[in-house]
Every structure is written in C-alpha cells, then in structure tokens.
Amino acid sequence: MKHRPNIREKLRSFGPQNLSNQELLALILGSGTLNLSVIQLAAQILRQFPLAILHQPSLKKLTTISGLGPAKAAQIMAALELGKRNHQPTPTPIRNPHSVLPHLEEIRRKRREHTICLYLNARHELLHKETVAVGGLNYSLLEARDVFGPALRLPAVSIILAHNHPSGSTKPSQEDLSVTDKLAKAGTLLGVTLLDHLIVTRTAYTSLREQGKLE
C-alpha cells in the first residue's frame, strides 16, 4: 500500500503520461496482496502478460496470476476496454447516397431481394443495421413495426431503407414506391424520418429521394 500514494502524487504532479506501465497498472489495481505490494503485483502481471498482449487474455486467464482475483482482473479488463473504445474511429456521418453505399455491399450480389434498414442518430451516424425482409418488397409482408421497432428501441431519429434488384435494373417498381410512401407516412407519425430508399444492383443504384419520389 505504501507505493500507491507516491504514484498518485507523481500522477498529480507530472500527469499520467509520465507514469510507467507498471505504475499505471498499480493505480488501476488499487492495492496489493499480503505478500506483494501493489507495484510488485503490477510487475508480475506485466511479466506474464506484456502490454502488447494484455488486452487479449480472458478474465479466467488473468485470474491464474497469483494474487489476482476476479475483482482485480475485472478492473483491468474494464480499463483496457475503455482504452480501446477511446481509440475507435469516429463514425462517418451518412449524408448522401454515396455514403450509404459502403454499407450495402453485402446485398448487392444477392440472388434474392434483401431489404435492410440503416438506423441513424441525430448526427446521421450509423447506430445499427438490420435485415428487415428477404424476398420481394411487399407492404403486406413488411410491416411498419419490422422497420420502426428497432428505431424506437435504440432510439434512432431517422432511417434509410435499401434493397437489391437481382434483375440488374434499378428502376423502382410500383410496389417499391407504394411501400416507400407508406413507410414515410408511418415514420412521420412515429417521429422517425425516412431519409431515403435506395435500390441497388451490382454496379448501380437509384435513390428515390434524388428522383423526387420521396419528399
């Protein structure tokens, strides 16, 4: 325990960037064991799991280290997870059909029609993507709750619908237009905006909003 105040004081005076990996880990652990000081326990952990691979072990593997129980192992894993999340790339806002297309690659070559829905937050960042129908797009089969249920749970403020045409034509059918209109109206009632409906093939796409088919 006597090492911990010294490390805290060093952090307070010089910042965390000036602490060694061993000292940072000691602060995460908080205390040592009957036989090991916290700094010694940190050193032992880093000997068995160097920092480069420390994010890989499971909770079970970490607890094989003498003096490291489930509680302290969980503290380490939680701190590492926060670090990983902090370094995840900032989501790219989806603001036009071109920025939607990378999310549609999985359906462009399908031999059956697949309808997917992208759920966006207020910054137009992707929250979730879900397949909502397989087979021809038909409003009697594709109910509003299938599309808007996830939006209300997330919650999302807008959605983008997309489906593929295995025929190779991006021309919207009358059923495509009818479904789009009905879903747009349902979204208005629920407070979730249908931003666009894209029809894609292997090499091309059509945006119903760009065509003026979606107000």
Residues 118, 162: contact at Cβ < 8 Å? yes
Residue 71 is part of which domain span? 3-86
Tell whether the torsion through CA atoms of 200, 201, 205 and 207 is positive or negative.
Answer: negative
d(CA 19, CA 161): 49
Q: Are residues 110 and 195 in the same domain?
A: yes
Name the domain count of the chain: 2
Whole-angstrom distance, CA of residue 108 vs CA of residue 201: 5
| Mean pLDDT along residues 165-186 | 94
105-152 residue pLDDT tens: 999 999 999 999 999 999 999 999 999 988 866 655 677 888 999 999
Asked if pLDDT for residue 5 goes beyond 80, the answer is no
pLDDT of residue 146: 87
pLDDT score for 53: 64
Domain final residue, candidates 86, 118, 133: 86
In a domain, 54, yes or no: yes
Last residue within a domain, chosen from 86, 110, 141: 86
The CATH number of residue 134's host domain is 3.40.140.10
What does the alpha-carbon distance between residue 32 and residue 17 come to, in Å, rounded to a whole number?
23
* Coil/strand/helix, residue 70: helix
Q: Are residues 56 and 121 in the same domain?
A: no
Residue range 87-99: mean pLDDT, rounded:
85
